[in-house]
Amino acid sequence: MKKQLFVDRKMLGALAVGACVWFSPAVLGLAPVQAAAAATGVVVGLPNFADLVDQVGPAVVNIRTLERPKSGRMGAQGQIGEEELQELLRRYFGGALPLPGGKAVPRGRRQAPSEEPVPRGVGSGFILSADGYVMTNAHVIDGADEVLVTLTDKREFKAKVLGADASTDVAVLKIEGSDLPFLVLGSSEKIRVGEWVIAIGSPFNLENTVTAGIISAKQRDTGEYLALIQSDVAVNPGNSGGPLINMRGEVIGINSQIATLSGGYSGISFAIPIDEALRVSEQIKKSGKVTRGRMGVKIAEVSKDVAESLGLKSAQGALVSQVEAGSPADKAGVKPGDIILKFNGTPINRSSDLPRLVGSTPLDARLTITLWRQGKQLELPISVADLDGEKQAKAGAAKGKGEGAAAAKTAADVLGLRVSDLTAEQKKVLGVGGGVLVDAAEGVADEAGLEEGDVLLQVNNTEIRDARQFHAVVAKLDSKKSVVLLVRRGEQSQFIFIRPSVK
C-alpha cells in the first residue's frame, strides 16, 4: 500500500490545497513536510547540482607538480641512481633492459641522463581572485621544483609558490593572468551539520570530478591549529587542495584529509575551514610566511575525574603539563598543574582551543589568561611571543634520596608511597620550589602507575612543600575517596588518581 505525503501549498504554488504526492513503499514512515522548510530555504529532496557546477567549475584548477631528476651518482644515503642501476643490469643480464613507461636501453648502450623535470604528483586548487591568486594544500606542492596549474578551458600556467604553512596545510600560488574565473568565499562559522556540499577536484588525475554529500560534523580535532569540517563527500588522492562548496556556490573549506583503513575513500573526509585558511593566505600574500604566536606551554586534556577532584564544575580548559623556561608563560607565572580556563576572556572548552587562539593572536599583545590553581581562580597578564620551535627542556627529574624519608614512611600505608625531600640542587634542576621525591611505589601507587624518581607536587588542591607536610596531608585523606596527585616525570606533569588502601 502506498502512503500519501501532503505538501504545503507554499511549496507547490500552482497545486491546489490538499494535493498530494505518491511515494513508493520505501518512504513509508516519512512525516509531513513542514512549511518552515520552504521559509528557511532548506533543500527538500535531492538537489540538482548541475547549475551550481556550471557556476563554480571553471574556477577549480588541476595542479601538477614536477621535480628535476637527481644526480645519477650514489647519494650520501647509499641510494643507487637509475643510470647506475641500468648499467648493473646490463652487465649481469645483457639484452634490452625495460624502463618505466615501456622504454628500453639497447644492449651495450647507456641512456643519457635527462635534464627535463619529471612528474611528481597531482592535486587540486581554486582561484581566489581574477588576477591569479590560487589556494591549495601545502602538502600538494611540498618538495616540488615546478608547479603547473591547468584550467578547465585547458589553459596552463606555470605557478609561483608564494608560501606554504605546514601547520594548517595551506599554500598560496600565483599565476600570471587577468579576468580569470574565481570563487566566492563563504563563512565556515555559519555552516550547519546536514547541509548539502560538493567537492570538485582531480582524484586520480581525473580533472573536474564532482562529488556531493553533506556536512557530517564541525570542529573535528584532527590538527594542532585547526578544527576541521567533516563531510561524507567522496575525496580521494588528487582531491587535495580542491574546494568544498555550499549550495550558494561559496567555498567553505579546502579538502585536505580522509579517514581510511585502505588508503582510499571510506565515507569520511575532512576540509580546512575557509575562515582559517583565509587568515593564513593573507599572511602568506603579505610576507610569504605565517607568523604564529606561542605561550611556551605543553598542555593536555582535562578529564572528568580531574575536574571533579579539583573542584571544577565541568571538564574544560587546558591542563598545563610543562612550562618552557624563559617563555611568556614562565614569565607570567604559569605553573605545571594549572588549568587554563580562558584566554583573554575566551573560554577554553577543549585543550585544542588554546593553541588556535594563541596562534592567531598578534605578537607582543598584552593579554590576560584565567587559571584554576589549587581550588581557586586567578588571572595573570601575559604577552604572546614568536617562538620558533620548542626549546630544549631541562634535564629530567633528579634521582636519589634526601632527608625526610623516615618522616613520610607512614604514607606508604595509605598511598603505597615512600618519599623524601628534594635537595636544593634537585629543585634548581627541576625548576620547582617544593615537592617530594618518590623513593618507592607499592600497592595502589604502583597500580596507578607511579614510579621511583617521580616528583609529587600536589595532593588534591594542596601544594606540597616537603615530605613532612606531605605526610600530614595524606594522614587526613578519606580512604573512601580517590586522591588526585600532580606528578612530575621528566619534563612532563600529569594528574594521577589513587584510591587510598583501607587497612
pLDDT of the residue at 223: 57
Higher pLDDT, 117 or 55: 55
For the chain, give the mean pLDDT.
Answer: 78
pLDDT of the residue at 44: 64
Task: Give the mean pLDDT of 116-142.
Answer: 92
Neighbours of 174 (CB within 10 A): 18
> Active site includes 169?
yes
pLDDT of the residue at 114: 60
Binding residues: 139, 169, 238-240
Q: What is the dihedral of CA 473, 476, 479, 480, to 10 degrees?
A: -110
**Per-residue pLDDT at 21 exceeds 60:** no
Binding residues for substrate: 139, 169, 238-240
Instruction: State the Cα–Cα distance between residues 231 and 271, nearest whole angstrom.
Output: 8
Confidence of residue 498 (pLDDT cuts 50, 70, 90): confident
Which residue of the set 202, 240, 309, 327 is catalytic?
240
How do residues 32-49 score in pLDDT, each as one tens digit? 444 444 445 555 667 899
**Per-residue pLDDT at 139 exceeds 70:** yes
Asked whether 66 and 118 are in contact (CB, 8 A), the reply is: yes
Closest CA to 272 of 229, 238, 224: 229
How do residues 80-108 score in pLDDT, each as one tens digit? 445 444 444 443 343 344 444 444 444 44
Task: Give the mean pLDDT of 374-402.
Answer: 60
> Active site includes 471?
no
pLDDT of the residue at 87: 44
Confidence of residue 412 (pLDDT cuts 50, 70, 90): low
**Per-residue pLDDT at 65 exceeds 50:** yes
pLDDT of the residue at 448: 82
**Per-residue pLDDT at 222 exceeds 80:** no
Asked whether 395 and 427 are in contact (CB, 8 A), the reply is: no
Query: What is the phi/psi pair of residue 477, to 5°?
Result: -70, 145
Which residue of the set 8, 139, 142, 330 is catalytic?
139
For a pLDDT cut of 90, what percent of the chain falls above it?
Answer: 36
pTM: 0.61
Which residue of the set 169, 421, 439, 466 is catalytic?
169
**Per-residue pLDDT at 363 exceeds 90:** no
In the chain, the domains with their CATH numbers are 3-40 (no CATH), 54-68+117-290 (2.40.10.120), 69-105 (no CATH), 297-383 (2.30.42.10), 406-498 (2.30.42.10)
Provide the pairing of β-strand 436-441 with 417-421: antiparallel
Asked whether 322 and 335 are in contact (CB, 8 A), the reply is: no
Task: Give the mean pLDDT of 218-222.
Answer: 80
Give 12's Cβ-side CA count (13 Å radius): 15
How do residues 251-283 score in pLDDT, each as one tens digit? 999 999 888 777 677 889 999 999 999 999 999
Q: Which residues contact 102 (CB under 8 A, 6 or more apart)?
A: none
**Per-residue pLDDT at 423 exceeds 60:** yes
In b/e form, how buried is each residue of 122-140, taking b as 16+ CB within 10 angstroms?
A: bbbbbbbeeebbbbbbbbb
**Per-residue pLDDT at 469 exceeds 70:** yes
pLDDT of the residue at 301: 86
Q: Which stretch, 182-191, 445-454, 463-472, 479-488, has highest mean pLDDT? A: 182-191
Closest CA to 135 of 98, 182, 204, 88: 182
